[in-house]
């Protein structure tokens, strides 16, 4: 089995998007907190902004879906150099006479 796109390329793409989202959320959180709290400084809001950006980027990573694999109804493959046939199970137990 193989996918139509390389897993490494998608991993790097998702890592880049996650880093960009994290950076934007970090900067935006600092601006909003500094606008709302008159005594806030860059040093005092940096920790809070890092926590918020980490939460948002973690949520982004966890909500991404992997590549699905679709198998035909009766696939045949080689496992340990021996042919193996994968058959779907029946709904109930099979009783032999």
Whether pLDDT at 89 is above 70: no
Q: Record the pTM.
A: 0.55
Predicted local distance difference test score (pLDDT) of residue 84: 63
For 61, left (φ over 0), alpha (ψ -120 to 50), or beta?
alpha
Look at 12 and 84; give whichever has higher pLDDT.
Answer: 12
pLDDT tens-place string over residues 53-72: 999 988 988 887 766 666 66
Residues 12-26 have pLDDT tens digits of 888 899 999 999 999
- Residue from 36, 32, 69 nearest 52 by CA: 32
């Amino acid at each position: 089995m193989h996918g139509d796109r390389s897993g490494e390329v998608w991993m790097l793409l998702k890592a880049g998007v996650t880093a960009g989202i994290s950076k934007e959320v970090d900067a935006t959180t600092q601006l909003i907190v500094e606008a709302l709290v008159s005594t806030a400084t860059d040093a005092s809001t940096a920790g809070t902004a890092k926590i918020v950006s980490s939460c948002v980027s973690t949520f982004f990573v966890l909500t991404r879906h992997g590549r699905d694999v679709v198998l035909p109804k009766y696939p045949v493959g080689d496992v340990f150099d021996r042919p193996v046939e994968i058959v779907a199970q029946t709904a109930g137990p099979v009783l032999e006479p």
